[in-house]
Chain A
């Protein structure tokens, strides 16, 4: 059994049933935007939402995280355990699920990050498929993150009269045993129906990038010295918003927080950003990316080239958050299209 159905008015009941066993985090409204937050009452959930301020990466790599404690005069860490409550991440979009997949590759690469690993194991991911575009900033069509592929336990798809849930893991199948769900008798028919639905929904989405998926990396290969970076650098105020909101930016800084009685302390990590002045500054004061233009360029290359070299994967999931959050109007679409134009003109 890989598919089950759910009546549309039963979504809240489904969430309530999950809450018996799990902490449920889901998109909720925050002023005019949305955030992932723990829900008490399922009615708080805004299932029709545009990407949240911060992506759900905060449940796998929290903004501030304790890595362990140490005591004075001892060189080893006293304790490195972390407690993670079993959690359901409810209503994640496919772009954000792809973001978690990217993080997963990085943190499971050697050396494995045990904190991320433990959190990843403790979170059940229940996705919610987008049937219409969120706004004019998302590039999920080109980045090929519009449709569910992998990385989730359950995917909820609105097929019009009801929801279809794709159960994609042993945990997902276990949750699918709930009496709330109806049976899907012909699984092959359902699979075809979903494929057709995904073909049809494409016409609702605009293609905003001028380059195609397969051209993107090549464009970046030729754009390192492009004038576009200077334009982007002139606008940038180095606030670090673009990296904080990026589902695949994972850089962090580590520091020790000593107790007031000086008997020991905690080792902690906090999100860092390649956009900040000091990020690439080394001992002696040399800064390898002193200019804002070079820092912005670095961010783009981490998404469209370096990750391709290292993991054979784009680390842009097309969620549009970096553009949406930028008060200086630095637009990923404009930047990439400008590079595309330059490259095509150069030919």
Chain B
């Protein structure tokens, strides 16, 4: 792509069931975003510009896919785009939206809209790759700009981007953080995909697992560690579920490994 000298790569952003927080992250790129614009043209970006176009090369899809209408829309996006990037936890793994799967649709409606009219259509939350083929993943809740830039550069030069397959602990230890287990806190770091630079633990917070379970997590090992620290199976499951319920309840397709 990069050798087509006069033609900029056209990028479009789309959002589905999500908070748009990951798109908002991109606006913090400031000057870097300007640098990126030497190579790309952004044609759809609701957070920043009002113009719209159906002519694009890369579609960056944020949010999980829920309703029938969204399914059709994302299929249309897939048709238009050469490359589809799932962007953020909701798109990559279903994210917190997956928690809806703990209830039937009626139960969920009753809890959220107790006694009120519910005129909206709802559906099953799914990661993007459950509906259309995804080429690349940029994980996180929210996404980390450093990784986003790294991924976009790699994709633009034609190398593609493969997020780390190792856990957050690797990046955390390189920063010489005191391990949260050392402080009797329960951290999802050992089973969560790295790439964020151990963002939360570096600021004293636990890892919530927003980047999704590893492809090959040592689930039993992690359970043993958590049990050793006095957590019940219920509490442990809750920790796993916050971001990973879609995967835990079985996605239709395994995420594609590029």
Interface residues of A (CB under 8 A from B): 30-33, 35, 53-54, 58, 63-64, 234-241, 244-245, 257-258, 260-262, 270-271, 273, 276-278, 292, 325, 327-329
Contacts and interface: CB of A to CB of B under 8 A. Distances in A.
A77 to B, nearest CB: 18
A240 B221 contact: no
A27 to B, nearest CB: 12
B224 A328 contact: yes
Given A235-B221, A276-B165, A278-B165, A240 B173 contact: yes
A62 to B, nearest CB: 10
Please name the 4 residue pairs, one residue from A and one from B, whose CB atoms are nearest each other, closest first: A239-B169, A237-B218, A260-B35, A237-B221
B150 to A, nearest CB: 8
A292 B170 contact: no
Contacts of A261: 35, 38-39
A329 B228 contact: yes
Contacts of A35: 176
B187 to A, nearest CB: 9
B225 A33 contact: no
B190 interface: yes
Interface in B154-212: 154, 156-157, 165-167, 169-170, 173-179, 181-183, 189-191
A275 to B, nearest CB: 9
B32 interface: yes
B258 interface: no
A244 B173 contact: yes
Consensus secondary structure, chain A interface = loop
Interface of B: 2, 32, 35-36, 38-39, 149-150, 153-154, 156-157, 165-167, 169-170, 173-179, 181-183, 189-191, 214-218, 220-222, 224-225, 228
B2 A262 contact: yes
28 contacts: A30-B176, A30-B178, A35-B176, A53-B176, A53-B177, A54-B176, A63-B175, A234-B220, A237-B190, A237-B217, A237-B218, A238-B166, A240-B166, A240-B173, A241-B179, A258-B153, A258-B154, A260-B35, A260-B38, A260-B149, A262-B2, A262-B39, A271-B174, A277-B165, A277-B214, A292-B218, A327-B179, A328-B224
Among B149, B156, B178, B221: residue with most chain A CB under 10 A: B221
Given A236-B221, A260-B149, A276 B157 contact: no
Contacts of A262: 2, 39, 153, 156-157
A277 B178 contact: no
B38 A63 contact: no
Contact of A32 (B173, B177, B178): B178
Nearest to B174: A63
Given A239-B190, A328-B224, A244 B170 contact: yes
A292 B167 CA distance: 14
A164 B92 CA distance: 61
Nearest to B32: A260
Contacts of A32: 178, 182-183
B218 A238 contact: yes
Contact of A328 (B175, B183, B225): B225
Contacts of A245: 173
Nearest to A240: B170
Contacts of B169: 237, 239-241
B225 A237 contact: yes
Contact of A258 (B157, B167, B173, B190): B157
Nearest to A325: B179
B189 A33 contact: no
A239 B36 contact: no
Nearest to A64: B174
A325 B222 CA distance: 15
A220 to B, nearest CB: 24
B142 to A, nearest CB: 21
Contacts of A278: 165-166
A104 to B, nearest CB: 22
A273 B170 contact: yes
Contacts of B224: 235, 328
Given A262-B39, A262-B157, A241 B173 contact: yes
Contacts of B176: 30, 35, 53-54, 58
